[in-house]
Amino acid sequence: MREVLDEFVGGLLKLAPQYQEKAVDLFGEGVWDDTLKKGEMKASLRFLLQCADRVCLAPFEPFNYGFIPLQRLSLLEPHERQLVLNAPEASFRVLDKNCKRENNARLIGWGFVRISDQLPKLFIASFTACPGPLIRAAKTLASLSVPDRRVVLEGVLKSPLSIDPVELAAHQLLELLDPRVHQNITNPVPLRLRKHLDGSDSLKPNQLERHTQKIRESWNAILCDEIRESALDLLRERVGIDRNHMDSDAVRHALMMHASVDEQRRSLRRLLVATVNEGHDVLRSHPANVQWLDRHPKIDAELWTTGIELEREHDEEIMTLSIERNPLEALRLGTLVGSCLGVGGSFTYSAAAIVLDINKQVIFARNQSGHFLARQVIAITESDTLACFEVYPLSTPGPIRQLFADYDRALAAALHLKIYREDSDSEDEFGDIANTVSTDWWDDSTWDLKKGIRRLNHKSKA
């Protein structure tokens, strides 16, 4: 081990200073791996040192969470590790780009482990030639339980698509593809080839071979898409969502969230079925939410659940703040900012609680194109004060944070409520906030509107 450590220190000193922390994270992830058997540690660490040579230099990011999936790859067989190291720079850059957020990196790592274990040839070939589809498959697969991940991959292994396409002619490839190809699966079949096969057009032999070869080269990407869609289909069946709703990104995300939560899973499933399949708002009528409203007659339920809308110009664009009324969009409050409340995070149950409970809401800020900018969770305490939580992402500029503070004060005034910690006497960072439908949630400390804005404004000038 001393020998490997010396190699690491020597390599570290050769790196540009801005990449040294990234190399330390990568090496450290291997050191702390307690799953390695005796004798495997040295080879694993040497692989990570070689990975550092690939990703700890320009044009790669000086910092991200790519060390998480790369450490998972150190568990591969020796010849497989070498094939990964021989992959083109583009493969490592795609991985690097997708690991800016820890949640994503964690999902990719979990997915990599399972795919490389059950489908090693597909994994290596896809990492080398089509890393994008592989990473998307890994992220979706990882939202399932470990047994379900195995079930999905076993199904793909038995799929008619799980063949070597090299010896197949164009018409044979289309016979396999057509039942599966739709807008969420890679479709490499050009229209001219279809016309040639149905007799409405004619291709020269070299053109036919070129189009056929393109399909063969896309086969691994198609299989990766098959993994992703099979995982989503399993989630859809478990929840009971109609297939015709599966083109929606919000529905797909909601299914992954449902698979990620342990607490309040049944309540979330009922909400998803009612919202997606039936278009019903079941939250206002839920007995637990009705009981909470009955205990708080001071609260204007209609105003609280619909909120107000606030517009302000920022950087020559109009920003709009409003309470997110679509529960499927609200459920993305963690994923959109990469926090622990998102898919791959440790507190997904809290995102579900915020959506399910009538005493909790989330405010979204969007630009004039509808693009998401930032969000803030708010809640009503048991003493009928408005608790306002931190604005995410934490890098949100001061002017936008100021707009959230303005929104909080305007909504509190409309509801005739005091703002917890600003207008009330309490110094406690945590308001007494009930669980209504949910059984638990992560009660983060409330945001001090004045100090929070001053702090971020000061930081933005630095």
Between CA 264 and CA 318 the distance in angstroms is 37
Query: Could you tell me the maximum CA-CA distance found in the chain, to the nearest angstrom?
Result: 83
Residue intervals of the chain classified under CATH 3.40.630 are 290-461
pLDDT digits (tens, 9 = 90+) for 437-448: 999 998 777 887
- The confidence score (pLDDT) of residue 434 equals 94
- The confidence score (pLDDT) of residue 103 equals 96
List, in sequence order, every residue forming a beta bridge with 385; answer none if it has no partner.
418
Q: What top-level class would CATH report for the domain 290-461?
A: alpha beta
Cα distances from 412 to residues 259, 398, 405, in angstroms, run 35, 21, 11
Query: Three-state SS for 418?
Result: strand
Between CA 381 and CA 385 the distance in angstroms is 5
- The confidence score (pLDDT) of residue 346 equals 92
pLDDT digits (tens, 9 = 90+) for 82-109: 999 999 999 999 999 999 999 999 999 9
- The confidence score (pLDDT) of residue 96 equals 97
Reported confidence tier of residue 366, pLDDT bands at 50, 70, 90: very high
- 462 pLDDT more than 70: no
- 454 pLDDT more than 60: no
Output DSSP code: residue 445.
P
Between CA 306 and CA 323 the distance in angstroms is 6
- The confidence score (pLDDT) of residue 35 equals 66
> Where does 39-130 have alpha helices with state H?
41-55, 67-73, 78-85, 89-97, 102-118, 120-129
Reported confidence tier of residue 315, pLDDT bands at 50, 70, 90: confident
Mean pLDDT of 295-316: 93
Rounded to two decimals, the pTM is 0.90
- 36 pLDDT more than 80: no
Reported confidence tier of residue 458, pLDDT bands at 50, 70, 90: very low
